[in-house]
Amino acid sequence: MQHLRLFKILSYPWLIFVSIIFLTFIILGFSQPLNDFVTPSLIIGMTFNTLLLCFFVGIFTVLIAVPCSIFVTMFDFSGRKFFSWALCLSLAFPIYVYAFIFVGAAEEISFISNSIRENIILSALIMSFGLYPYTFLLCKAQLKKTGINLFKASKSLGKDNFQTIYLVLLPSLKPSIIAGTVLCIFETISDFGGVATLGINTLTVGIFNIWFGYQDLISGAKISLMLFLLAMFILFISRVSPESERFSGAGKSKHSLIRPNKVLNFSIVLFCSSILGITFIFPVGQLLLWSSENLTNNIPLGLLLNSFYIGFIVAFAASFIALILSLGGFRNSNKAIFNLSTIGYAVPGSVLAVALLLVFNFYFGISITILGIYGLFLCLLIRFITPLIRYLDAALLSMPEETLSAAMIFSKNSFRTFKNIYFPSLYSPLLLGFLVVFIEVVKEQPATLLLRPVGFDTLSSKIYNFTSEGQWELASTPSIAMIFLSLILVFILNSRVDNE
């Protein structure tokens, strides 16, 4: 497609830059020896904790998300429309906020607090409360598109409602369950503040302890490389799942929802209410209670401005670069090369930060922190450009062939073709992706802690400063501000799923 040739050429600097960073990081990570204090038993222990935590988080998110998605899409129970969007609200909570809420609330009852800390199963359950909406939203969208047709077909063959759900709908949800679980696992291995508060010694915690405790960049890089390879392995496994198991459908259609009897209706309402109460009402109430007990702790305007500044700049830059990459890679025979620019989201922020520190030191003999806030911008840009590219790629693939043919025939001017043909189709996903990146950047904690300039605080870094010292009341006010910002994205995401 000649009219997109310019975008392909403009894509190469970014692709080369990202490739150099990851390849250099891998080579240096393998070639450098570990220091004596990083023992094999320590590495094995951190890796085991990380894998076990990911396993239980995956189990708990599926157990919560799948029943909820089936209830709100297939059953006509009391409050169905309310729960359809309300069960997404916990997505507004960063995991590190959830962790200090539950630990802090249980602190007055010592045996409960002690049982939460350093208990991987309970820690995984707490983390799942904030992560299950990823799977819930994907399963709900899948059921709205294909579940209805499968339900009709199964009923026509004589299956009852629950046979249809168990034998037909659940297998059809496998792709969505896998995709949602992978997202939850990526968030789990990326988290630092949450696992640190919960007392779980994962690979991410090890990176910070080695970096801040021993100032040992090489050993930190080796641990980061292990986490990077773990993320790549999970990403590879998720992408080789058999495509033949994906179910297709004809999109939305109307059907009669299942009308449960009184006992089942009560049970569904009780289940959904319990999930909403535990995952949203209780955490919000606890934050408001702590905040009211410390009325003098006003939100510094500087924290809000710093978080907004970083979120806006990174989201704007990501939008510009993502447009170039998506158009440059559209129907390109070298699509695999362009996929290199999208693996950042699968890499924890702490790993990217260490990779940039190591690579800049290797090539230029300086630390990336010398760039100040721009080093943090670069790290967050590499990490969070992926959602934007995914949205734009999906929009390009859905463009009618007639429109693409007209673009090739009537215009060879790249900018004019982009303005008149491509941009109108890409505007909505670009706006949605911008908001996604904005909120993700505001919530990001590990990379911000590693690369922020001295004296520069954001909402996420200030929350860590307070929670690391057990000052739950002081951490509540910036947490409320962050959750309020995040709720905007939750409403947009949920309305988008419901309107598709």
pLDDT single digits (tens) 125-184: 999 998 898 888 878 877 776 655 666 666 555 666 666 776 777 777 787 888 788 888
Buried b (16+ CB within 10 A) or exposed e, 243-254: eeeebebeeeee
Count of alpha carbons within 13 angstroms of residue 211, beta-carbon side: 24
Answer yes or no: is pLDDT of 275 > 90: yes
Q: What is the pLDDT of residues 295-335, one digit of tens each?
A: 555 667 788 889 889 999 999 999 999 888 888 877 665 66
- Distance, CA of 247 to chain centre: 25
Distance, in Å, from the CA atom of 467 to the CA atom of 461, rounded to the nearest integer, reads 10
Across the chain, mean pLDDT equals 79
- What's the angle, vertex CA 42, arms to CA 469 and CA 355, rounded to 5? 75
Q: Catalogue all structural domains in the chain, each as residue range(s) with its CATH number.
A: 1-31+294-500 (1.10.3720.10), 32-293 (1.10.3720.10)
Answer yes or no: is pLDDT of 250 > 50: no
The encoded tokens of residue 108 equal 């007055």
Report the predicted TM-score, pTM, of the whole model to 2 decimal places: 0.78
Q: Which is more confidently placed, 31 or 254?
A: 31
Residue 462's closest CA among 437, 484, 479?
479
Give the Cβ contact number of residue 236 at 10 Å: 10
Residues contacting residue 402 through CB under 8 Å, at least 6 positions apart: none
CB 429 within 8 A of CB 319: no
Residue 222, pLDDT score: 75
Distance, in Å, from the CA atom of 198 to the CA atom of 190, rounded to the nearest integer, reads 15
Task: Quickly state the pLDDT bin for 253 (edges 50, 70, 90).
Answer: very low
Distance, in Å, from the CA atom of 461 to the CA atom of 447, rounded to the nearest integer, reads 10
Give the Cβ contact number of residue 284 at 10 Å: 18
The encoded tokens of residue 428 equal 């909505």
Q: What is the pLDDT of residues 199-246, one digit of tens each?
A: 888 888 887 777 666 666 677 777 777 777 777 777 777 665 544 344
Distance, in Å, from the CA atom of 497 to the CA atom of 495, rounded to the nearest integer, reads 5
Q: Which amino acid is at 167?
A: L
Q: Which residues pair with 75 in a beta bridge?
A: 258
Residue 388 parent element (H or E): helix 386-397
Percent of the chain residues past pLDDT 90, beyond the cut: 15
Residue 484, pLDDT score: 83
Residue 435, pLDDT score: 81
Residues contacting residue 311 through CB under 8 Å, at least 6 positions apart: 437, 438, 439, 441, 442
CB 105 within 8 A of CB 296: no
Least-confidence region, from 87-101, 164-178, 401-415, 458-472: 401-415
